[in-house]
Amino acid sequence: MENGNWIEVPVFIHGITPDADPQGHSAQYAQLDGLIREEFSKWNRKRSAAQEDKRFDKELIPVEWGQFLPSDGVNLPDELLAKAEHRLLEAVIKSEHGLSNLDPTINPARAFRGIVRAVIFQGIADLFYYASREGEIVIREHVFSQIANHIRNIGGEKKISLTFITHSAGTIIGHDLLYQLFRSEEVMKVKVAAGEAPYPAVTELREMISKGQLRVRRFYTLGSPIAPLVMRSTGLIMKSLTQEPLRRVDIGLQVLEDLPGYRWVNFWDKDDFASYPLRFLYEDGVVEDKYVDVGDSILLDPAHNLYWQSRPLAVHIAENW
């Protein structure tokens, strides 16, 4: 079933899990996808005859990266990331045993040392990898190709409309994909001249966009650390110092007559220390920072992991579709 001339397809991109033996994100994806579809159904039952149904027309595109899933049958470099983070943390903890006896001073803050260590290794280290040139290339190639493969499998000459629902480090990857898809040809030529070869998946999707066969409907970020990642680029640092906002056209989120309202909604919770407001980064009207109370803990069952089961988040998506 189509909404107008577009087939609506959701794309889910996760961040890195702190689990030592991650089993993928299908359950989390299905939970939020189900909540959104439930809210679509509620809205559709109350809509007027003149209003179109709100719905996803296809199953979600489930992006996986950063951990090895045996069912994939492949072992790409980024799939070792979660295991490497856990092994390094174990090695650090083991190496510290006994050494602390050399310091007899009392410092209550040391009680949080293990927690901070775990956050750095299992919650931030993946961003260190992605911020490196090698990690950036490996992860982008893996994620972008998954999305392109799924779109290709939809088949035919259908017009496909993507809604990105991204979490944590996945928000950065999703944002970078938008820039790759919609940056100008002039910028593309400069990047190629500097030795940055275009990703095959991006070339394929850009061609679909140029033919009017592909668009991005909405971009949702959950618990996003995009704001501090400005520091990975000299150009972004200079723009932040001069308070020059980024342009909507560079990520393909222009104002469209058939898509009113904000096309990028950034959900954040003050109990999630990895989440930041993002509206200030772009020109007016691009990003809506939407506060949502997903949880109250930063340790056990942390708020950062609870966006996937947030009914208010799903309600907002459905009502502002």
Site of tokens 């970078």: 176
Strand order in the sheet with 160-167: 61-63, 7-13, 160-167, 214-222, 264-268, 287-291
Residues 259, 257: Cα–Cα separation, whole Å: 6
The pLDDT value recorded for residue 42 is 96
Decide which of 165 and 105 is more confident. 165
CATH class (in words) of the domain with range 7-82+133-319: alpha beta
- Taking 90 as the threshold, does the pLDDT of residue 93 lie above it? no
Tell me the three state secondary structure of residue 33: helix
Listed by start position, the domains of the chain span: 7-82+133-319
Going by C-alpha positions, the residue among 320, 9, 278 that lies closest to residue 154 is: 9
**pLDDT tens, residue by residue, 255-309:** 888 888 899 999 999 999 889 999 999 999 999 999 999 988 876 568 888 999 9
d(CA 14, CA 223): 11
Read out DSSP for 134-177?
HHHHHHHHHHHHHHHHHHHHH-TT--EEEEEEEETHHHHHHHHH
Find all residues with CB under 8 Å of 273, minimum gap 6, and list them. Answer: 298, 304
Q: Of 1-5, 8-12, 152-156, 215-219, where does mean pLDDT reach its minimum?
A: 1-5
Instruction: Tell me: pLDDT of 212 over 50.
Output: yes
Q: DSSP readout, 91-127?
A: HHHHHHTTGGGG-----GGGGGHHHHHHHIIIIIHHH
36 has a pLDDT exceeding 90: yes
- Beta-strand ranges (E) seen in the chain are 7-13, 61-63, 160-167, 214-222, 264-268, 287-291
pLDDT at residue 80 in the model: 75
Say if residue 83's pLDDT is above 70. Answer: yes
User: Would you give the DSSP letter of residue 3?
Assistant: B
In this predicted model, what pLDDT tens digit does every residue of 120-137 receive, in sequence order?
776 777 788 888 888 899
Quote the pLDDT of residue 99.
65
Residue 139: its pLDDT value, please? 92
pLDDT of residue 2: 46
Query: pLDDT at residue 158 above 90?
Result: no
